[in-house]
Amino acid sequence: MPAGAKMTASTALRLRFVRSAKSGARDTLAALDRIRQLTGAGMPPGEALRFGAAAGGTPAARLAQAAKLVERGQPLSQAIPRAGIRLEEADLALLRAGERSGEISAAIALLCQRLTQRAAAKSRIKKALAYPLTLLAVTLAVVVAMTTLVLPSFVALYATSNAEVPTTTRALMAFGAWLTSYGPFAALLVAALSFGAGVARRSNPRVASWVDRGVLAFPFSGGLVRARERGEFYSTAACLLRAGVDLETAIESSAATLSNRSMRRAAGSAVRSLRRGARLSEAIGRSALDSEHRDAALLRLGEAIGDYPGTCERIARLESEVYDAALERISRVVEPAVLLIMAGAVSAAALAVYQPVLGSASLLLGGSQ
């Protein structure tokens, strides 16, 4: 085979691999931001994808593939995931809402904003957990080292003297033995269960509904998820309403962008109330989306002044502040909790060593007499 043919086959294989691989969060944001800039300048989606691919960089191959799919007649909301740009179903629903309203540029801009906020939130959570988890790992390592290197010598001395080993020492030795023998298996089991739960949530709607309800009921994650979902719902509604979409369609499209199924059902009940002729403030107030009836009061004000988009934007900003406060609250709680666990473990370890040291001294003095 000629060298040029070999090179062509190799290049095609690499391109096929790139297209089949899913993009990471950073690559996804880079690709969408490039599309946002070009569509914001007035380019249609297909042309924006081609120009974005021509600019090179990491997203170029996926943007080129998406451009070919759009040229074949596929909508952007289908072309992007098929090109390997990773998006959640709720994000794709936002793109579909933008296509439906004719404001795809605004929808992409809103999606980029959401992805940026999610990345910032994940970064803050990781930073909040990094230090406590490091302390916890060091504590466990110290306990294992003490139970395998230090305490066995004292236990052997007690055994030769037929004396009873202190209770704290025996408990710490038992914990260290369990951690050494079963700790890795327990960690693997937790990882497997987490992975299985994620797969079941994606494949089984009933499991997904149960998990989503549990997330909302949990003290820390509940407030965080509720604030994020409500903020995204109202920001999408504001974007669509400003684009001239009618109220019922805007609320229905915004409800489809919610990733938590319990919240999506609550928004769906508001859509059904709108279809029966209720005002938006009444429809939202009757649904579980507004459990504290704060939104209904603001929406009544928006109805009085005829400014639904502005009212939805104000509610979205308020929810963004609630979300930031919830993240800050979680970071303030997690670190002290882990420090307390570490202090308890260190105190128990010190007591477990101190008692046999004194006992060994007594045994040695008794033996010398």
Q: Which residue has the higher pLDDT, 252 or 357?
A: 252
* Average pLDDT of the residues in 276-301: 89
* Average pLDDT of the residues in 87-104: 83
State the Cα–Cα distance between residues 166 and 352, nearest whole angstrom: 8
* Average pLDDT of the residues in 138-159: 76
pLDDT in tens, 213-228: 888 888 777 888 898 8
Taking 90 as the threshold, does the pLDDT of residue 314 lie above it?
Answer: yes
Q: What is the pLDDT of residue 299?
A: 92
Per mean pLDDT, which range of 60-69, 194-203, 291-300 is the poorest?
194-203
pLDDT in tens, 291-313: 888 898 899 998 899 899 999 99
State the Cα–Cα distance between residues 221 and 213, nearest whole angstrom: 11
Q: Which residue has the higher pLDDT, 270 or 89?
A: 270
State the Cα–Cα distance between residues 319 and 263, nearest whole angstrom: 14
Confidence band for 364, pLDDT divided at 50, 70 and 90: low
The mean of the pLDDT values for the chain is 79
What's the 3-state SS for the chain? Answer: CCHHHHHHHHHHHHHHHHHHCCCCHHHHHHHHHHHHHHHHCCCCHHHHHHHHHHCCCCCHHHHHHHHHHHHCCCCHHHHHHHCCCCCCHHHHHHHHHHHHHCCHHHHHHHHHHHHHHHHHHHHHHHHHHHHHHHHHHHHHHHHHHHHHHHHHHHHHHHHHCCCCCCHHHHHHHHHHHHHHHHHHHHHHHHHHHHHHHHHHHHHCHHHHHHHHHHHHHCHHHHHHHHHHHHHHHHHHHHHHHHCCCCHHHHHHHHHHCCCCHHHHHHHHHHHHHHHCCCCHHHHHHHCHHHCCCHHHHHHHHHHHHCCHHHHHHHHHHHHHHHHHHHHHHHHHHHHHHHHHHHHHHHHHHHHHHHHHHHHHHHHHHHHHC
pTM of structure: 0.68
204: left (phi over 0), alpha (psi -120 to 50) or beta: beta
Q: What is the pLDDT of residue 123?
A: 82
* Average pLDDT of the residues in 263-283: 91
Q: What is the pLDDT of residue 161?
A: 67
CB contact at 8 A, 288 and 212: no
Amino acid making up residue 238: A
- Structural tokens at position 331: 């970071």
CB contact at 8 A, 239 and 110: yes
Per mean pLDDT, which range of 18-32, 198-212, 261-275, 301-315 is the poorest?
18-32
Confidence band for 368, pLDDT divided at 50, 70 and 90: very low
- Structural tokens at position 6: 């070999």
pLDDT in tens, 3-26: 443 334 443 433 343 344 455 677
Taking 60 as the threshold, does the pLDDT of residue 365 lie above it?
Answer: no
Taking 70 as the threshold, does the pLDDT of residue 363 lie above it?
Answer: no
pLDDT in tens, 38-48: 888 888 888 88
Q: Which residue has the higher pLDDT, 174 or 154?
A: 174
